[in-house]
Amino acid sequence: MTTEDPQGFASEPGDASEGAQAAGAADKAASEATAEGDAGADAGAKGSGADDGAAAVRRQLAERTADLQRLQAEYQNYRKRVERDRLTVREIAVSNVLESLIPVLDDIGRAREHGELVGGFKQVAESLETVVAKLGLQQFGKEGELFDPTVHEALMHSYSSDVTETTCVQILQPGYRIGERIIRPAMVAVAEPQPGTQSTAAPDAEDAKGDGAEES
């Protein structure tokens, strides 16, 4: 059976079916192309979003690393400050104890000068002196050393022809220091050169010089 189209051409039923199939294939191809385009657009959008997310993660990681480094530095400074304060407190405590023992050491020194440091008392005294020395207490002040007002305190004064500079000729009471800090200056008797000693020596030197000139 044949059909006539409006233009008067006859068409077979198979031709109509093939046309419908071709139209359906074209529609399907167009749909697939549209889907592929949409998928590509979605993939591009997702890729851009992934890059932005990675950049944000890297930025946050850098910030957290900087925060951690800052906290670590602050903690190290805190530890150093605590250790420094602990040592300072210890030094002050030890200094106070040693300073309170100085009168006892003075008594031990006087007993030694008078020959009374004997027996068990001698052993105890020597043990105490050893302990305070280990804790940093140092005794100073000897006869014959030059007078230094920063470490000596002159309680007696005299003149002597045996010295050429102000000299400690007697230690009345020894001094004590801890490190560079003076706990107590040494109490001393000092002697200065006889007045006029240098002025009388000057003419003698001039005479000797004059005699040498005459001989030449």
**Closest to 132 measured CA to CA, from 110, 100, 109, 107:** 100
Give the residue ranges of the chain where pLDDT is below 50.
1-16, 199-203, 205, 213-216
Cα gap 96→93, rounded to integer Å: 5
pLDDT number for residue 132: 94
Give the global pTM. 0.55
pLDDT number for residue 193: 92
- The alpha carbon of residue 20 and the mean position of all alpha carbons in its chain are separated, in whole angstroms, by 91
Q: What is the CA radius of gyration of the chain?
A: 53
pLDDT in tens, 33-87: 555 555 555 555 555 667 778 888 888 898 899 999 999 999 999 999 999 999 8
Cα gap 111→132, rounded to integer Å: 18
With beta carbons less than 8 A apart as the criterion, state whether 34 and 28 touch: no
CA terminus-to-terminus distance, the chain: 168
Phi then psi for residue 171, to 5 deg, are -100, 105
pLDDT number for residue 109: 92
Phi then psi for residue 183, to 5 deg, are -80, -45
pLDDT number for residue 54: 85
Other C-beta atoms closer than 10 Å to the C-beta of 163 total 20
Cα gap 143→174, rounded to integer Å: 10
